[in-house]
Amino acid sequence: MSMKILVTGAAGFIGAALCERLLQEGMQVVGLDNLNPYYPLALKRHRLARLETLASQCAGECGDGRRPGSFRFVPLDLVEREALLALMKDEGFEVVVNLAAQAGVRHSISQPFDYVDSNLVGFVNLLEACRAARPSHLLYASSSSVYGDDAAQPLQEAQVGERPLSLYAATKRANELMAYSYSHLYGMPVTGLRFFTVYGARGRPDMAPLRFARKLLAGEVIDVYNRGQMARDFTHVSDIVEGIFRLMPLPPAQVSSAAPSRVLNLGRGEPIALGDFINGLEAALCITARRRLLPMQPGDVERTWADTSALQALTGFRPVVSLATGLEELAEWARHYPSLLSETQDEREHEASEAARG
């Protein structure tokens, strides 16, 4: 069945991977992104170029009467309220997947207003546009960071506390509360997805997996926070995409007066110590790492571990990509595109300040 879908953040890591999957499924996809310079634009353009190529292949291949998939890119910022509203009203999307956001925990400490603009103002603009255009389902990215560091593990959806450790986490929790209120007021079907540390080919250069790959390939020292004891529920991007895809046609139902709103964990369900993740990447790249063990960073949590039983009960799906398989795929891509692993502004500043401290 072909659907018309809006994916925001389509030039981003998860957004582009989702658009690829939707195209392969024959969907009519409109991808929106403001192409912000948080990390190098070359990577965002690389992802969009792949999507354009795939779209032309999909259009050519489908000669069997099925409607071929299509992709159209719209350069737009969620803060542009009127333009967003006009797009949503004109297009009449059946499903909206909001992956656009200012991401990154550490950057939210140095650049708080980027988060206020995209994650708060932009998110309300999207909710307002959905109120007017009425898609059958709005799915949006939340984050495992909403749990803070005092919830029992594995993390269950209902255990969320109100002690976010960074502004990034606070904006993601705020998104869940805002989405609930719109769902309650207007009967809007909404699903929030708490993603757990996503990795894979064409990933984010500000996150540990790509940073580690870049440093290994360049023979540089890897900074390992919390002396490698920090654990993350690393989840391969194809599992994240599969989870979103399965949930798209399953909007929460309005049962009596309850709002048609839910929030779900989307993670592998298996915490992996940072040290073990690096061991796996060393094996995939066949390079031995030089490590510098460091203390915890402000705003970071010690461990994340998703309880995925709610997702599984709803969709029958649980993430399946093993760490070894996921790292092979990441390593293969990283070897071919070393220039796209390049560092972010934040990282350069951090390294400069570390170097200045000696």
User: Please, what is the minimum distance in Å from the beta carbon of residue 273 to ligand NAD?
Assistant: 17
Task: Please tell me what DSSP assigns to residue 199.
Answer: E
Which is closer to ligand NAD, CB of 36 or CB of 70? 36
| Shortest Cβ 52–ligand NAD spacing (Å) | 16
List, in order, residues 6 or more apart from 8 with CB less than 8 Å away: 15, 31, 32, 33, 78, 96, 97, 98, 99, 100, 126
Q: Tell me whether residue 14 or residue 68 sits nearer to ligand NAD (CB atom).
A: 14
Q: Are 246 and 97 spatial neighbours (Cβ–Cβ below 8 Å)?
A: no
CA 353, chain centre distance (Å): 29
Query: Is 101 or 327 the residue whose CB approaches ligand NAD more closely?
Result: 101
Q: Which CB atom, from 68 or from 154, has the smaller least distance to ligand NAD?
A: 154
Sheet holding 28-33, edge to edge: 70-75, 28-33, 4-8, 95-98, 137-143, 190-195, 261-266
Shortest Å, Cβ 202 to ligand NAD: 9
Instruction: Report the amino acid identity of residue 165.
Output: L
Is residue 168 flagged as an active site residue? yes
Q: Which is nearer to ligand NAD, 68 or 133 (CB)?
A: 133
> Residue 236 CB, nearest distance to ligand NAD (Å)?
11
Pairing of the two strands 28-33 and 70-75: parallel
Q: Which residue is nearest to ligand NAD (CB)?
A: 12
- Which residue in the list 38, 39, 140, 168 is annotated as catalytic? 168
For residue 47, the minimal CB distance to ligand NAD (Å) is 8
DSSP annotation string for 224-285: EGGGGT-EE--EEHHHHHHHHHHHTT-PPP--TTS-SEEEEEES-S--EEHHHHHHHHHHHH
| Binding-site ranges for ligand NAD (CB under 6 A) | 8-9, 11-15, 33-36, 44, 77-79, 99-103, 118, 122, 141, 143, 195, 197-198, 204
What are the catalytic residues?
A: 168
